[in-house]
Structure 1
């Protein structure tokens, strides 16, 4: 297995002024060509710190990818530090200079001395042309290991890797094929899931590994197969999927990049059915999930954020007597909310949520995290009581996901 380490350089990353999205993308692309990322590190614009992390990375990885610190200003010190690390000097690369000169001429802008110095690269590197900016790409080789320095700007880095560096890495290393297959489950905790599929997991072939990736009421089961024949890996992985499905089919809502809102939307669109929402404690979060999906206007009509009892009564037709007897956080109220929005917006299905998101407002009878959800459709209304935690934002996110799953189960008759 070829091992990689990714290093991001820049004080702005450590200060939290920008979000590092580069390492996730790089790791995904490396995996696709059979290179496994074993560590990711971020370091500031400090020469000694960069030298130390380079030495550490060289001791444990076969390929070291570096992003950032290649700008024309004094705080960008990556090129000079690489010269120190590889015991060399900077000099103007004529190919780089010609490209940068043309870059500015094409845009009708003057080229300053700082811009000209962008064409300077360490003498012992291979210059990698950057067609999307002025910061150069650089490739070093030492003792069978590869160091690659790239711009930190995501657009430039991604194009440089896609069109030049990934093919070059594939040619340099003899890498295995790594194939991932993801099962998307919902409504079952990680530990319960692990117990249910323990025997299946224990009998997986040695070249197929399983990982559990939990997130807000969902657990992704990632199967990773390693070998030399992609089609064979796909067949073997699919065979394992078919073995485990009977154990967890009610909890599997999709595969790979499927999201619960995408799956629900796909079903509604295929059937020509429509949806509306009535939300109290979630404040429109479920509607946000639904409308994140491109083309959701084909099935989503609209919703009502009925945060107050007055809006529940006036806009959704919830009976004052229901609220007085059972309260806003009750099965009875959420049923009337779902049926009310379905009727008033004239949709096939109406879904609703009402609860105590927290961190306060709970009682002994209804503690924080008590939430009722409902889905109303042509064949009746189904409900579910959630007993979540004390953290408001998490409760809202969990509720939105569980609400869509309740609808999914109703749509499929589960």
Structure 2
């Protein structure tokens, strides 16, 4: 089955909001083995919506629209789709009761003309109940093809897609569902990993494929299987993949990221950690606290962008700053020591570097980063040279800091970090 995703809204085209709906929907559809062939964002006008639908239906089996289902005059999707499918808008008592029930949960949720208009829906479609808002989803079928229209509000769209749309699509697909497993390999470039796994890939049976999804500091691998005996083949080849990766560090799971791997292991070890950051600006602490349950092991952090904060808060030597500069081994080491001392953490990590785009020198070009560690056995630091791009430097340094902090806490040797 092939899918075409259309997002509706001038605010997307003006760059005022990000289109997160397409990404969420495409990933959800992929889990069912449905291939998204195109994504399109269009204006909230009847002509633009009709043109997009006319283009989508011939080249796909399933069309998903999001947006334009609100109660105001500029939300035109319902009327446009009713005209397109040769039906009319009618007052739907069931949808009206849904709106009433939703509004009853809010102190100021009184029914008005705009809310009531949410019950005006195309006569010939299947309604999808939206318990997260007042706009119902709509399911149309024509010529063996399906078109679904969902609200553009992301949490409403996600709920309806997961609760109402995907189960129906799965039932239509029958047993022809894509199956896959994912893991994340850390601290290995994509090209080097692909070269290492080339013999493994060459022996994959028909119907199985390996995909590489690189991010700064790690590469996610997705092994997919489709067709007869897909599940059996997947399990066999999955075990072989994990064996082929030894002795590399990896973690299994669809959402396995550097911060999730860190959280699992640090929690298991029962240790506490802290951060002192300069060039990463608090991003390491953000990654740690993005995982629920971080309060069990993360004690706190200091963003010491200015040298004065390094000296007066973290206790970094002013003489060392003058002699070696902020981007140096002694400063990185003392930053980690200082935040460990302040918080009482078992382990601490620090980052200091030249993120860019300016500030680099011949000796310390953009992308130069020192990462320091401090723990029960003392402190040390390592120098890295990442890239010329600020965002990538921050991302790579943050992931590497987590990897080093975790490795040290696990007892790995300094030269292994």
TM-score tier, shorter chain, comes to 0.7 to 0.9
SS of the equivalent of 1:95 reads helix
Instruction: Check the 8 A contact 1:132/1:156 in 2, yes or no.
Output: yes
Matched with 1:64 is 63
SS of the equivalent of 2:256 reads coil
Superposed displacement of residue 85, structure 1: 1.9
CA distance in 1, matches of 2:192, 2:100: 62
1:197-236 counterparts in 2 under 5 A?
197-227=197-227, 231-232=231-232, 235-236=235-236
1:182 and 1:382, CA in 2 relative to 1: closer, same or farther beyond 3 A?
farther
Matched with 1:21 is 20
Superposed displacement of residue 289, structure 1: 1.8
Instruction: Check the 8 A contact 1:177/1:228 in 2, yes or no.
Output: no
CA distance in 2, matches of 1:109, 1:298: 39
1:171 and 1:280, CA in 2 relative to 1: closer, same or farther beyond 3 A?
closer
The yes-or-no answer on 1:389 pairing with 2:387 is yes
> Alpha-carbon deviations, 1:157-189, whole Å to 9, x = none?
333333333222233333522223222122222
Superposed displacement of residue 402, structure 1: 0.9
Superposed displacement of residue 156, structure 1: 3.1
Instruction: Check the 8 A contact 2:135/2:151 in 1, yes or no.
Output: yes
CA distance in 2, matches of 1:370, 1:317: 23
Matched with 1:358 is 356
Matched with 1:127 is 127
Q: 2:327 aligns with which of 326, 329, 332?
A: 329
CA distance in 1, matches of 2:135, 2:186: 45
Matched with 1:278 is 276
Instruction: Check the 8 A contact 1:212/1:219 in 2, yes or no.
Output: yes
Superposed displacement of residue 54, structure 1: 0.7
Larger CA deviation: 229-238 vs 64-73: 229-238
1:379 and 1:170, CA in 2 relative to 1: closer, same or farther beyond 3 A?
same
Instruction: Check the 8 A contact 1:179/1:233 in 2, yes or no.
Output: no
1:350 and 1:73, CA in 2 relative to 1: closer, same or farther beyond 3 A?
closer
1:347 and 1:79, CA in 2 relative to 1: closer, same or farther beyond 3 A?
closer
CA distance in 2, matches of 1:122, 1:325: 74
> Alpha-carbon deviations, 1:245-292, whole Å to 9, x = none?
22xx33425543222223223322222222222222223222222222
CA distance in 1, matches of 2:365, 2:372: 19
Instruction: Check the 8 A contact 1:189/1:219 in 2, yes or no.
Output: yes
The yes-or-no answer on 1:80 pairing with 2:79 is yes
Superposed displacement of residue 368, structure 1: 1.8
Instruction: Check the 8 A contact 1:180/1:223 in 2, yes or no.
Output: yes
> Alpha-carbon deviations, 1:284-338, whole Å to 9, x = none?
2222222222222222223333334444344444444533443322223323333
CA distance in 2, matches of 1:334, 1:393: 21
1:70 and 1:391, CA in 2 relative to 1: closer, same or farther beyond 3 A?
same
CA distance in 2, matches of 1:320, 1:94: 74
CA distance in 1, matches of 2:391, 2:194: 27
Question: What is the TM-score of this pair, normalised by structure 1?
Answer: 0.88
Instruction: Check the 8 A contact 1:181/1:237 in 2, yes or no.
Output: no
Matched with 1:89 is 88
Question: What is the TM-score of this pair, normalised by structure 2?
Answer: 0.87
Where does structure 2 lack aligned partners over 5 or more consecutive residues? none
Instruction: Check the 8 A contact 1:372/1:384 in 2, yes or no.
Output: yes
CA distance in 1, matches of 2:194, 2:220: 12
CA distance in 1, matches of 2:165, 2:62: 12
Matched with 1:265 is 263
CA distance in 2, matches of 1:58, 1:387: 49
Matched with 2:336 is 338
Name the Cα RMSD after superposition: 2.8
Larger CA deviation: 119-128 vs 270-279: 119-128
Report the number of matched residues.
411
> Alpha-carbon deviations, 1:59-97, whole Å to 9, x = none?
111111112112232211112221332233333334334
Matched with 1:166 is 166
CA distance in 2, matches of 1:310, 1:71: 52
Larger CA deviation: 285-294 vs 124-133: 124-133
Instruction: Check the 8 A contact 2:366/2:387 in 1, yes or no.
Output: yes
Matched with 2:37 is 38
CA distance in 1, matches of 2:245, 2:48: 49
